[in-house]
Amino acid sequence: MNITKSELKGFLEEKVTQYNSSKFITSDPIQIPHEFSIKEDIEIAAFLTASIAWGNRKSIIKNARRMMSLMGNSPYDFIINHNDTHLDSLNHFVHRTFNGIDFIQFIKSLKHIYTNHGGLELVFAKNSTPNDTQLAIHHFKTLFFEIPHTFRTRKHVSDPLNNSAAKRINMFLRWMVRPNNTGVDFGIWKKIALSSLSCPLDVHSGNVARKLGLLKRTQNDAKALNELDKSLRELDKNDPVKYDFALFGLGVFEKF
């Protein structure tokens, strides 16, 4: 598109306003953590939902809801107080390549995070800077798997230092950190700067970003994310990830 930066910013701001709306929650996986009210329940439900957020969105929502049901719809209590019998009931869970083995490992690793590292927010905040959360994601993965674990499960937690765009974790961080001004994101994490967040880069947001001249790299990897981050921060250095609503909405709902 051959438009000026100010025209592009205006266009994207309109789309942010259009799609950053609670009316879209009913078709989005973010509805799952919205079913909870306790901070730890919200963030755990959000993390688990985001962790299986690839493929058909109806399937993601259905399987995330099943995850919550298998934990008695009390995810924090389940994680802290589970025993081996409770874990056995998770064995048959499947979402694409994420299976019961992975689910059980996630439960054990989350218990480790809350019991030994002060919880999800503290772990991510520890290595975040005002302009970056990608190193924090790398360190989170290190802590997540510092207990005995199944090697196959490592692939379900992305690492930007291995050139991953870490779409699902970046989406999770957006949910937790961005203010709850429109009833979509939660804004329950106060220790991470809004300016540090990165756009969840997937096929939809990537394709739209390229058509708008925000991204040139053809692969959706960490290098592409860095390029897109720079472009979005030029438009709004304080809240660059808000443009995720515009890029995703244009791609999914408008087939831009």
Give the tens place of pLDDT for each residue, 60-71: 999 999 999 999
Q: Which of 85, 155, 141, 69 is nearest to 109 (CA)?
A: 141
pLDDT tens, 198-246?
999 999 999 999 999 999 999 999 999 999 999 999 999 999 999 999 9
Q: What percent of the chain has pLDDT over 90?
A: 95
Which of residues 55 and 34 earns the better pLDDT score? 34
pLDDT of residue 3: 83
Alpha-helical runs (H) found in the chain? 5-19, 39-51, 57-70, 75-81, 84-88, 100-116, 120-126, 134-144, 167-177, 203-211, 222-235, 243-252
Find the mean pLDDT for residues 158-178.
Answer: 97
Structural domain range at position 164: 5-252
Q: What percent of the chain has pLDDT over 70?
A: 99
Q: 10 Å Cβ neighbour count for 130? A: 10
pLDDT tens, 77-109?
999 999 999 999 999 999 999 999 999 999 999
Q: Are 30 and 175 in contact (CB under 8 A)?
A: yes
pLDDT of residue 256: 86
Is the predicted pLDDT of residue 1 greater than 90, yes or no? Answer: no
Rounded to an integer, what distance in angstroms lies between the CA atom of residue 165 and that of residue 223?
Answer: 8
pLDDT of residue 255: 84
Q: Which of 166, 118, 109 is nearest to 143 (CA)?
A: 109
pLDDT tens, 2-32?
789 999 999 999 999 999 999 999 999 999 9
pLDDT tens, 128-154?
999 999 999 999 999 999 999 999 999
Find the mean pLDDT for residues 45-70.
Answer: 97
pTM for the predicted model, two decimal places: 0.96
Q: How confident is the model at residue 124 (pLDDT cuts 50, 70, 90)?
A: very high
What integer best gives the mean pLDDT of the chain?
96
Residue that the structure tokens 């957006």 belong to: 174
Number of domains within the chain:
1
Q: Which of 115, 168, 174 is nearest to 141 (CA)?
A: 168
